[in-house]
């Protein structure tokens, strides 16, 4: 697809991310997926390149340009490895975003530069075993005792939970107030009582650690309250626009990589004395795949441009995320079919892309 009038800076960022993904991510993606862990040196390099502070302005140590550049970068990193794209998107949107938008100057000074540089990775502790999208049904409690918040509860599906140095934890501070009784807290993961119980064994995107966490008498200073008391649900929901743009771009990157692998295979694989791309059924399938990819990109870029302009775009971001994540599953399935018998094997040209695409439907809220 021809460039859609990107700025010179957006093109530069996209090309940098693409070169980095192809040279330093894609060759190792299968090994990381098998190990269930992204190499620490790679994450540090992402920080050095500014990929982990793309929603943070320069004044706080970040590399913010706009959300179009961010979406393009997430797509390229995800094309190299969906798990690395997940780490990048989640860290930027729900690791850095809430502190940038709701943190005090002291909280920003303490954390944003380290988060933007990758010296610290963030995680977002909202979901609980009994409360996924029903965030107002949280059972985690935070009590103010002698100038400190004491937090008790359990969290589930915490992306970056094992790697993170800082957790944004949501807990009920005023049970009688319902949705208005939830607050957000900055909790360094080295705090006693913050315990990573296990790393989940996922179907795909396994190199991105997803954890179950227990908070047992986990105590932080009163100043670690993020935003106002009782505004936790608003803080959680405020990240949906940027977060869904990022996940949509991740899904697009995974699907594009599957399409490109299928295209190469279709040109090389010979059946009945000609490359299978010359068979109409295969050619039609590839054309449909590319059409779906281009449609998803347009939805993502529209939402990203609205977000960059400071305009509300929750509906547009949600549409982009819904369409891109469902498109990714279909495109990756088609890529497996084009690969024929080898399509379902463990390598990334087949089943690996499909397993990764499925996970994007649940990130940042399922259907």
The predicted pLDDT at position 351 comes to: 57
List the catalytic residue out of 75, 316, 329, 364: 364
Residue 321 pLDDT > 80, yes or no? yes
**pLDDT band at residue 340 under the 50/70/90 scheme:** confident
> Pairing relation of β-strands 166-172 and 148-159?
unpaired
The predicted pLDDT at position 349 comes to: 53
Give the other-Cβ count within 10 Å of 61's Cβ. Answer: 20
Q: Measure the CA–CA gap between 56 and 62, rounded to whole angstroms.
A: 4
Average pLDDT of 4-18? Answer: 94
What is the DSSP secondary-structure string of 5-17? Answer: S--HHHHHHHHHH
Residues 296-318 have pLDDT tens digits of 999 999 999 999 999 999 999 99
Give the other-Cβ count within 10 Å of 110's Cβ. Answer: 17
The predicted pLDDT at position 54 comes to: 97
Residue 111 pLDDT > 80, yes or no? yes
Residues 32-69 have pLDDT tens digits of 999 999 999 999 999 999 999 999 999 999 999 999 99
Q: What is the pTM of this model?
A: 0.93
Q: For all residues of the chain together, what is the average pLDDT?
A: 92
* Token pair listed for 170: 């949501």
Residues 207-219 have pLDDT tens digits of 999 999 999 999 9
What is the DSSP secondary-structure string of 204-228? Answer: S-TTS-EEEEEEEEEEEEGGGEESS
Q: Measure the CA–CA gap between 324 and 304, rounded to whole angstroms.
A: 14
For residue 364, indicate whether it is catalytic: yes
Helices (H), the chain: 8-20, 29-35, 40-48, 67-80, 82-90, 97-102, 105-117, 232-238, 240-268, 280-308, 314-338, 353-359
The predicted pLDDT at position 341 comes to: 65
DSSP state letter for 28:
G
For residues 292 and 329, the answer to whether their CB atoms sit within 8 Å is no
Q: Measure the CA–CA gap between 212 and 197, rounded to whole angstroms.
A: 5
Average pLDDT of 241-253? Answer: 94
Ranges of beta strands (E only) in 93-193 are: 122-125, 141-145, 148-159, 166-172, 182-188
């Amino acid at each position: 697809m021809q460039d859609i009038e990107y700025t010179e800076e957006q093109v530069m960022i996209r090309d940098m991310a693409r070169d980095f993904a192809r040279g330093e991510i894609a060759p190792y993606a299968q090994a990381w997926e098998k190990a269930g862990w992204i190499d620490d040196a790679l994450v540090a390099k992402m920080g050095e390149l500014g990929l982990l502070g793309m929603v943070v302005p320069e004044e706080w140590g970040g590399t913010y340009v706009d959300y179009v550049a961010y979406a393009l970068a997430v797509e390229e990193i995800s094309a190299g490895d969906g798990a690395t794209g997940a780490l990048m998107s989640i860290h930027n949107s729900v690791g850095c975003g809430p502190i940038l938008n709701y943190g005090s100057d002291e909280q920003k000074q303490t954390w944003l530069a380290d988060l933007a540089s990758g010296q610290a990775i963030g995680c977002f502790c909202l979901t609980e075993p009994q409360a996924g999208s029903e965030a107002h049904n949280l059972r985690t409690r935070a009590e103010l005792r002698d100038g400190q918040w004491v937090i008790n509860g359990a969290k589930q599906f915490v992306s970056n939970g094992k790697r993170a140095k800082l957790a944004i934890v949501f807990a009920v501070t005023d049970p009688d107030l319902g949705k208005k009784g939830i607050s957000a807290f900055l909790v360094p993961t080295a705090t006693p009582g913050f315990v990573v119980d296990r790393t989940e064994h996922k179907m795909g995107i396994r190199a991105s650690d997803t954890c179950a966490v227990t908070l047992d008498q986990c105590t932080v200073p009163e100043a670690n309250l993020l935003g106002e008391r009782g505004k936790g649900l608003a803080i959680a929901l405020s990240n949906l626009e940027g977060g869904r743009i990022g996940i949509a771009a991740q899904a697009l990157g995974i699907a594009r990589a599957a399409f490109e692998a299928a295209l190469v295979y279709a040109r090389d694989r010979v059946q009945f004395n000609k490359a299978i791309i010359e068979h109409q059924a295969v050619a039609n399938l590839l054309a449909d795949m590319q059409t779906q990819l281009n449609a998803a990109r347009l939805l993502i870029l529209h939402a990203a441009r609205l977000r960059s302009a400071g305009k509300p775009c929750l509906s547009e971001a949600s549409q982009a995320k819904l369409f891109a994540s469902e498109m990714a599953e279909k495109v990756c399935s088609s890529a497996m079919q084009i690969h024929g018998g080898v399509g379902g094997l463990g390598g990334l040209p087949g089943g690996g892309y499909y397993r990764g695409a499925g996970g994007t439907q649940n990130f940042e809220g399922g259907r």
